[in-house]
Structure 1
């Protein structure tokens, strides 16, 4: 007998889960024929989706309170007070449907249908982000998944917008989203459950919640609860419980579901539980005594929205990189945004993002501008970019009246892998180009063109320990800010005749997440700020531009549903100006590169954000 018990313990341990007591269940709503069920936050009302009875609002005993006729399957909801948004699949039209429900008045709104898809949709789930934008995820056959923007708060859009495709497991049928942790969980029938980032700007990646290698088990429907997950196993008629520790999921003792042969659907609200047995179509209710321990949730950064965006760049993959803003000396509304395409050359946009010029001069990485450069007998404004094809600096003249750019020449460098660059123009008027290489070397050149041919005189050289890229010069204070991607931001004297002594501005850590990318200066009569691209968490950090470089906060660029513009993520370069460019840019303009173009999915581009919105969001003085 002792040997048998030992073998039993070994078998239980190696099976990956531990059994506990059965969950007491009683039939609920015996006359209902629902395929999916949800419990509303008040705990007293429920929703069902039925191929026979449509969408039904029911009381706690199963009596009908309101009905939306049709033939439906799959169900999810998000509620704000008495107003709920309901998502389901219309079996007749084979389309996903969103509809408002007033649970107090017991009335339904007008449905919003997603366009027909080119794949069968098995299931769906809703997600509401921190800005109250409402999305629906579609789970399709053969690993096809999609995310759609459908509303804000309890208001549905007039037309849904496809945000992105999401590759999912080939046998997925169910999904749920935890809005607080922004996690999408999807089942893979014979493998287990996977978690994906739900935010529309997040990278597409997955982490396991629980995986198994046991043909007697099956991953079914799930419900996410604060700090954990409750999931069905239809083959063993068990309820699996998982506690999240933030980085991983820990399986708890499972619960048996006595009397059920094929539990398929699940709904949980607090301790209330409803489950559907696919064998007889009956719903059962029970009380769940287990509660997960809530896990700390990362603080939600405030968001601003882009008001304009550039046309997508003409190359696939990681192409767009660094913007610069040229301010028209007489007509600020005719200013230009320059952007590098590191697979093509230099792009020129107007303030609405319309492409005006393409200069296909090679793989340009970073770009900067300064006014008043003497090109022979002419005075022009100057744009300079690091050219990775030739490890050189490419120079462009800017016509001060028309804003037209022309190639003006090239300055070679000895760098083996040129990367970032920026310009410095002290009070004397000379313009210096400061280029860096991937090995950490910085080279400072004095630029000139006395006879119309550009040349660069090397006047200083210094080095950091690892790969840099972004840099920006404060011409007024003669200070250079440089970013060391995995380390942080440094300040150094920008003058060529001064030692390059590094002073730490901010290190990678709680606020600044590697890679440290673009740097820019907002300089006004009242305040000067350093803006940093914190690429590792898709955010932007604002610091005072003078010691002790106090942090003023961080923000993200979120989507603009009204304008149909997605947010920005994985940003490389950025630029900002405090000049009044008119209209929405009357307090300045922030331009950021968008590494993941969504809504629709296209090649990368640049997002234009009113600085006034940043000021208001961060409550800047």
Structure 2
């Protein structure tokens, strides 16, 4: 029996690579309407297959069967290798010379991964995920830009999870739960486009949805296609296979095949989806499982009819002209992290690094909790001190401040409870923090703070407000009580926050969140003429948040939190402020530390703090704590790894 399919509209010329999950974007090339002829691939009941797929890069196929186990089959359907058991659901990724296969053990009700050597036709030792407290309907694999391998679980009643299961070409010894993902209540199928970092999930009675797949992404979804009357899907949203910039999907109850293209491609995501083709599947009563693979002659297609278990195969004459994907930023893992802060929600904000004058390994990281106060951690992230003084937003510090007859190090934070500056003395021997007073400001909504200490030894504080105002105070404490004298004020057009002063060059860098970074003379007796350093654009994504300076004898760099794309931009700290690139703080699988995202404040030092911090330390606030999901915290990154990733001189 053969079935001839003719599209209702021109099809998207596309190159599909289902097995690897890393589709290459394509452009339309539909000079003629292609057709698909399906023929039975395996005799009915030869194998009781529930799910079918292609082995990445080969003509061989994978099959999951509750009766016959996990199977490796040749192009003619002959069995090449079998893993005994009862399995359902299927996805795979190439991993060096091997293939990693994900499936569900029907008897144990657990998801598992197992490696397959296609050459020796040997299965490896399965890695089982722990039993879940919900029924798992489906699963799919995802490999991120740093080659970490994840498994998504699709469960009943909207329950979904993302698990870290491997790195590079190896499976982990144990799987680690990364986060929960709220999914549609009637979901059964999922696929991930690795290149676009996009998870596609069906909702049987509604349609198909697209979610960000990256573990540090915010949880949001966009509709791909909806069931009538909200879209052209006649009856149900079922299984899917990836196409470049889109998806090929089944309506099992109407026996139709739909193709959707994402508008704008991978470089301009978020503009919606458009229907490119709708094909009837005459003769199939309930097409359930779908697999597609590119070949030199077009696209190989496998479809399983759930009505009688028959599997059909065919070829679609689709071609595509590849176009480049968005550039991949290097990932630098954190080596340690702070304990989570003691408040829920958007709480942690800005760090500062206090350097012990005699024993650098005893240095501390200060961090603000804008729902609580000021925190102090050691270099391993252990909480050492907590000062519940109010809603502190930003913090900065400088050494050798004369507090009456004492010489202390001074930390200053913006206090949103009182629109004031909260001051703290730091004991130079022990690192212990103590409250040292408060300076009121006329700001209606105080926000950012940074300090400036020129060679003359005076200490200045720059405070800014949400209305764009900057106030510069000279700080002193001749009688042991800190006081502030307002010496200059200026304004930017919109909301600022992050700022950092270059004491050596007497220059202030300030961030205007939706605009970019400016430089201005930090001296109080000089005009506040703004000079552009970098504008929001292709590299720097709003909001512009934390700013910090890495200063060494050889090079000075300005580090900026590009919050809009969860990255960090590094510039030369001198004109013309040349870009040295951007990076992300990624997941450290070996240490069990998640990456950093939605970063507010950051700080960096070039001081040798010993061990992994011998070339300095970068601290960034993490707006989404994963693995496990907890309140926000701070990530500690060796500067040596940043320099290596960006090839800094």
TM-score using structure 2 length: 0.92
**Superposed displacement of residue 22, structure 1:** 6.7
Residue 78 (structure 1) aligned with residue 93 (structure 2): yes
Residue 57 (structure 1) aligned with residue 72 (structure 2): yes
Aligned residues: 603
User: Which of the numbers 86, 111, 118 marks the counterpart of 1:96?
Assistant: 111
**Superposed displacement of residue 80, structure 1:** 3.1
Partner of 1:595: 623
Where in structure 1 do 4 or more consecutive aligned residues deviate above 6 Å? none
Higher RCO (C-alpha under 8 Å, 6+ residues apart): 2
User: Which of the numbers 274, 279, 296 marks the counterpart of 1:250?
Assistant: 274
State the distance in 2 between where 1:136 and 1:294 align. Answer: 28
Q: Alignment partner of 1:67: what SS?
A: strand
Q: Alignment partner of 2:328: what SS?
A: coil
Partner of 2:551: 523
Residue 177 (structure 1) aligned with residue 197 (structure 2): no
- Output the aligned Cα RMSD: 1.2
Partner of 2:477: 449
Q: Alignment partner of 1:367: what SS?
A: strand
Point out the more displaced range, 40-49 or 595-604.
40-49
**Superposed displacement of residue 295, structure 1:** 5.6
Partner of 1:419: 447
Is the Cα contact below 8 Å between 1:373 and 1:379 reproduced in 2?
A: yes
State the distance in 1 between where 2:400 and 2:101 align. Answer: 60
Where does 1:324-343 land on structure 2 (aligned, <5 Å)?
Answer: 324-343=352-371
State the distance in 2 between where 1:330 and 1:282 align. Answer: 76
User: Which of the numbers 396, 399, 407 marks the counterpart of 1:371?
Assistant: 399
Is the Cα contact below 8 Å between 2:34 and 2:318 reproduced in 1?
A: no
**Superposed displacement of residue 23, structure 1:** 3.3
State the distance in 2 between where 1:41 and 1:151 align. Answer: 18
State the distance in 2 between where 1:47 and 1:277 align. Answer: 17
State the distance in 2 between where 1:362 and 1:288 align. Answer: 64
Q: Alignment partner of 1:110: what SS?
A: coil
Is the Cα contact below 8 Å between 1:589 and 1:610 reproduced in 2?
A: yes
State the distance in 1 between where 2:575 and 2:168 align. Answer: 42
Partner of 2:533: 505
**Superposed displacement of residue 212, structure 1:** 2.5
Partner of 1:15: none
Is the Cα contact below 8 Å between 1:226 and 1:293 reproduced in 2?
A: no
Where does 1:116-131 land on structure 2 (aligned, <5 Å)?
Answer: 116-131=131-146
Q: Alignment partner of 2:612: what SS?
A: helix
User: Which of the numbers 365, 378, 386 marks the counterpart of 2:414?
Assistant: 386
Where does 1:430-509 land on structure 2 (aligned, <5 Å)?
Answer: 430-509=458-537
Deviations 1:266-315 (A, max 9, x none): 01101111111010011111112235665642111111000000000000
**Superposed displacement of residue 603, structure 1:** 0.3
Partner of 1:217: 235
Partner of 1:536: 564
Residue 266 (structure 1) aligned with residue 281 (structure 2): no
Deviations 1:177-236 (A, max 9, x none): 011111100001111111111110011111111112248421100000223211011011
Is the Cα contact below 8 Å between 1:23 and 1:255 reproduced in 2?
A: no
Residue 136 (structure 1) aligned with residue 151 (structure 2): yes
Is the Cα contact below 8 Å between 1:196 and 1:205 reproduced in 2?
A: yes
Q: Alignment partner of 2:202: what SS?
A: strand
User: Which of the numbers 241, 246, 249 marks the counterpart of 1:228?
Assistant: 246
**Superposed displacement of residue 42, structure 1:** 2.9
Q: Alignment partner of 2:644: what SS?
A: helix
Q: Alignment partner of 1:24: what SS?
A: strand
State the distance in 1 between where 2:42 and 2:352 align. Answer: 64
Structure-2 change in CA distance of 1:561 and 1:81 (3 Å):
closer
Partner of 2:430: 402
Point out the more displaced range, 187-196 or 416-425.
187-196
Partner of 2:42: 29
State the distance in 2 between where 1:29 and 1:134 align. Answer: 32
State the distance in 2 between where 1:457 and 1:139 align. Answer: 60
State the distance in 1 between where 2:95 and 2:587 align. Answer: 21
Is the Cα contact below 8 Å between 1:25 and 1:257 reproduced in 2?
A: no
Q: Alignment partner of 2:642: what SS?
A: helix
TM-score using structure 1 length: 0.96
Partner of 2:203: 188
Partner of 2:259: 241
State the distance in 2 between where 1:207 and 1:26 align. Answer: 35
Is the Cα contact below 8 Å between 2:56 and 2:99 reproduced in 1?
A: no
Partner of 2:30: none
Q: Alignment partner of 1:338: what SS?
A: strand
Q: Alignment partner of 2:343: what SS?
A: coil
Give 5+ residue unaligned stretches, structure 2: 1-7, 9-32, 266-270
Give 5+ residue unaligned stretches, structure 1: 1-8, 10-19
State the distance in 2 between where 1:327 and 1:29 align. Answer: 70
